[in-house]
Amino acid sequence: MAKIKKILIANRGEIALRIMRTAHQLGIETVAVYSKADKQAPHVRFANEAIAIGPAPSSASYLDMDRIFDAARRSGADAIHPGYGFLSENADFAQSVEDHGLTFIGPSAHSIRVMGNKLAAKEAISNFTIPIVPGSPDAITELADAREVANSIGYPILIKAAAGGGGKGMRVVHQVSDLEEQMSRAIGEAESAFGDGAVFIEKYVTAPRHIEIQILADQHGTVVHLFERECSIQRRHQKVIEEAPSVVTDDVMRGKMGEAAIRVAKACNYVGAGTVEFLVDAERNFYFLEMNTRLQVEHPVTECITGVDLVEQQIRIAQGEKLSFVQEDLSIEGHALELRVYAEDPWNDFAPSVGTLFRYRPPTSEDIRYDDGFEEGMEIPIYYDPLIGKLVVHGSSRTVAVEKMLEAISSFHIDGVSTTLPFGRFVLNHPGFLSGNFNTHFIDQHFSAEKLDDEFELDRKTAALVALKLYLEQQSQLKLPTQPPSNWRKVRQNFTRR
Amino acid sequence: MDNYKIWINDHTYDLTGADIVSIEYNGEKEIVAVVGNRRLPGSIVEVNYKKKEYVVEILGRFYHIRIQNPYDRLIDDMGYAKRSSKGSEDIKAPMPGLVLEILVSPGQEVSKGDPVIVLEAMKMENMLKSHHDGIVKNVSVSKGLAVEKGQVLIEIE
């Protein structure tokens, strides 16, 4: 395989920038693509060249394969990196890239196809001794079948989109009376989000933790794992805070999960960077959930504790290089935390917050890594994911990492949109999180707008007092009366004496 | 002692000049506010004495503050304030989006917390619920319509 000379990044925002940074470090040129809404975005200016690919809606731009290939042709790119989301787990796209004679920086279309469908994935790993959660082996379309499966597994159950990912297309059902509505909503969401309305049913593991293993596989048969990430702080099944390593694993468990993850990767002939997700129950049993055949949003925490640049490895693997290290070379150093800074309002059930970043000054310090795709003054576009950036810290221990994250949050100046930063502070001060004794229900169990208010009561009252003090100081300096002119005073007294 | 009503982000306080905080300055704008034994770093971002509007940053968060002094209050009490509008009962779009499904029709009775409309925005389905018990007066939008933030979707009385 030949060295890659020019990569077209078929993505936007923070991940496009992040990929380009590594590409440039490796001496590889980059091509950015952008929709009309992203014309002024940083990733467009950072790349060596940029090509417009259509109007704002994703379906007409970042998801439009023809436009992507046209941009590749015009720019002379010899490789495409799909980032995450968009076309990254579209097997047809991966195949098309190869058919066009370009290098796809990711796994083969076959791996994507097999692991992209949760039912097919379960089928593929069935001979590899990998524990899985009890569930329906096939897709379910009839309500009667759903009822039957749900009854045999036992409530609560989870309805999941077979083609799903990123927390979309999942519905928990606690009782049979909710089944019909939840089935129809799940199928609808699956159809519109993934173009495939197939859903299946799984046992809903109560009090589960979501722990995933990062793997790297080269084209020469070597597969290694880069330990785990704990991703249980989620709302609506979307991750908000991740960390590496997990509090709940020990070396033995980590070794077993790592080996299972490697077997999963081998089961689909995986090449590149991938993540194997597991559910961990209260007894620390782990069950295979799914494999994500792409680089994940939360990959930075793994990079922090291992010192490995995963994008660099993706590129090297795509170029046909052998992995330059073996499993024994990898070790965990310290502890890393990531807070996803979403444009969402935690006071309003995390409703998306639109607006302009009229004040935007992220913290800068040695132990802070902040991956974003925005600048002060930019508007948050409504067409895409509301992710502003990823705030990542690395500390010598979990306690130190938590302190650093709290410090980072307090130095993060942002105004114009609501964000998940206050939520991050709430979690990092919460004994449930600090003890490490939490699961995916943490937000439901411990968080509310009222509790968030309590967390910020002192700050808020202090700000009000500061303003009042400034006002009174200025008032006394200017010697202006607050009371109305004297002939009104009698009138006021009449009104106030009730 | 004069009483001041303070609006700050979505909250209000009733404070007097006796509710004190001491401010240490690190230059013109950087401050440390000392409240009891707590020290909170922040900064003075915007000052508008005439409008009585201030922006103060505490620990990274920006607070937009408006002060109402006793005189303003008197004006309010005398009835020049806006009378509360029935519009607060309307369901408005919290952000721009697309109407996916309308779950109620005019004349229908709804209870507080009943889902009334589903909006799609930022790749998610957002189900909006009724704020209180009432009867659907009017559905101002139709399925498939793109709506703006603040746009009235469903009127409930």
**Predicted pLDDT at A433:** 97
Q: How confident is the model at residue B34 (pLDDT cuts 50, 70, 90)?
A: very high
Give chain A positions within 8 Å (CB) of B6: 464, 467-468
Query: Of A294, A340, A369, A425, which is the active-site residue?
Result: A294
Q: Are A380 and A357 contacting, i.e. CB atoms less than 8 angstroms apart?
A: yes
Indicate where chain A has its CATH 3.30.470.20 domain(s): 209-452
Closest-CA distance of chain A to residue B11, Å: 9
* Residue A272, pLDDT score: 98
Between these two residues, A2 and A402, which has the higher pLDDT value?
A: A402
Q: Which of B54, B55, B71 sits opposite A484 (nearest CB)?
A: B71
A80 versus A487: which is more confidently predicted? A80
If one counts every other C-beta atom within 10 angstroms of the C-beta of residue A23, the result is 25
pLDDT band of A56, cuts 50, 70, 90: very high
Mean pLDDT of all residues in A249-254: 97
Share of residues in chain A with pLDDT > 90 (%): 77
B24 interfaces chain A, CB cutoff of 8 Å:
no
| pLDDT, tens digit, 9 for 90 and up, residues A120-157 | 898 899 888 898 888 888 888 888 888 999 998 888 89
pLDDT band at B97 (very low <50, low <70, confident <90, very high): confident
**Whole-number pLDDT of residue A482:** 56
pLDDT band at A496 (very low <50, low <70, confident <90, very high): very low
Residue of A353, A468, A482 lying closest to B15 (CB–CB) = A468
Pick A481 or A256 by higher pLDDT. Answer: A256
- In chain A, the residue whose alpha carbon lies closest to the alpha carbon of B77 is A495
Q: Are A147 and A183 in contact (CB under 8 A)?
A: no
Shortest Cα–Cα distance, A217 to chain B (Å):
32
Q: Pick from B21, B54, B62: which is nearest to A462 by CB?
A: B21
CATH 3.30.1490.20 domain span(s) along chain A: 134-203
Closest C-alpha among A226, A217, A313, A305 to residue A25: A313
Residue A379 Cα distances to A356, A357, A359, A386, A430, angstroms: 4, 6, 11, 11, 32
pLDDT for the residue numbered A486: 52
Model confidence at A484, in pLDDT bands (50, 70, 90)?
low
Amino acid at A390: K
Instruction: Give pLDDT tens digits for A390-430.
Output: 999 999 999 999 999 999 999 999 999 999 999 999 999 99
Partner-chain contact A459 B61, CB within 8 Å: yes
- SS3 call for A456: helix
pLDDT for A479: 66
CA distance A14 to chain B (A): 17
Residue B80 banded pLDDT, cuts 50, 70, 90: low
pLDDT grade, residue B83 (50/70/90)?
Answer: very low
Q: Kindly tell me if the per-residue pLDDT of A189 is higher than 60.
A: yes
Mean pLDDT, rounded, for A262-268: 96
Please list every residue in chain B whose beta carbon sits closer than 8 Å to the beta carbon of residue A185.
Answer: 125
Determine whether the interchain pair A458/B35 forms a contact, defined as Cβ–Cβ distance below 8 Å.
yes
Across B71-82, average pLDDT: 66
Closest residue to B122, CB basis, from A386, A422, A458 = A386
d(CA A42, nearest CA chain B) in Å: 21
Judge whether A333 and A402 are in contact, CB under 8 Å.
no
The residue type found at A411 is S
The whole-number pLDDT of residue A1 equals 62
Average pLDDT for B42-55: 94
Is A425 known to be catalytic?
no
pLDDT band for position A284 (cuts 50, 70, 90) = very high
User: What's the rounded mean pLDDT across residues B83-102?
Assistant: 73
A451 pLDDT above the threshold of 90: yes
Kindly determine whether residue A354 and residue B149, on different chains, have CB atoms separated by under 8 Å: yes
CA atoms A320, A322, A324, A329: torsion sign: positive
At residue A137, the pLDDT reads: 80
CATH of domain A209-452: 3.30.470.20
Shortest CA distance to A463 belongs to which of B49, B71, B66? B66
For residue A492, the model assigns a pLDDT of 46
Sort out which chain A residues have CB atoms less than 8 A from B11's CB and list them.
453, 460
* pLDDT at position A366: 87
> What percentage of residues in chain B have a pLDDT greater than 90?
25
Nearest to B116 by CA among B132, A170, A351, B85: B132
Cα of A19 vs its chain's centroid, Å: 16
pLDDT band at B84 (very low <50, low <70, confident <90, very high): very low
- For A134-203, which CATH class? alpha beta
A449 vs B: CB within 8 A:
no
List chain A residues with CB under 8 Å of B121.
352, 382
Give the separation between CA B94 and CA B92, rounded to whole angstroms. Answer: 6
- Mean pLDDT for chain A overall: 92
- Give the separation between CA A94 and CA A106, rounded to whole angstroms: 8
For the segment B117-147, what is each residue's pLDDT rounded down to a tens digit?
Answer: 988 877 677 888 887 888 888 888 988 888 8
As a whole number, the mean pLDDT across chain B is 84
Of A159-168, A200-209, A342-351, B139-148, the one with minimum mean pLDDT is A159-168
Q: Is the pLDDT reported for residue B15 higher than 50?
A: yes
pLDDT of residue A344: 95
| Interface residue of B1, B25, B61 to substitute, partner A, most A CBs within 10 Å | B61
Is A469 part of the contact surface with chain B (CB cutoff 8 Å)? yes
Return d(Cα A241, Cα A442) in angstroms, integer: 11
Question: Which pLDDT belongs to residue B92?
Answer: 85
Asked whether the beta carbons of A244 and A305 are under 8 A apart, the reply is yes
Q: Please list the residue range(s) of chain A that carry CATH number 3.40.50.20.
A: 6-105
Identify all chain A residues contacting B62, using CB atoms and an 8 Å cutoff.
359, 413-415
For residue A76, pLDDT beyond 90: yes
pTM comes to 0.81
What Cα–Cα distance (Å) separates residue A372 from each residue in A148, A257, A366, A390, B21? 46, 31, 17, 6, 36
**Which residues on chain A are in Cβ contact (under 8 Å) with B4?**
468, 471
Locate A367 and state its tokens: 């132990």
Domains of chain B (ranges; CATH) run 5-84 (no CATH), 89-156 (2.40.50.100)
Whether residue B123 lies within 8 A of chain A, CB to CB, comes out as: yes
The yes-or-no verdict on residue A22 having pLDDT over 90 is yes
Class (C level, CATH) for A6-105: alpha beta
Kindly state the average pLDDT of the residues A334-357. Answer: 95
- The reply to whether ipTM tops 0.85 is no
A466/B23 CB distance under 8 A: yes
pLDDT at residue A498 greater than cutoff 50: no
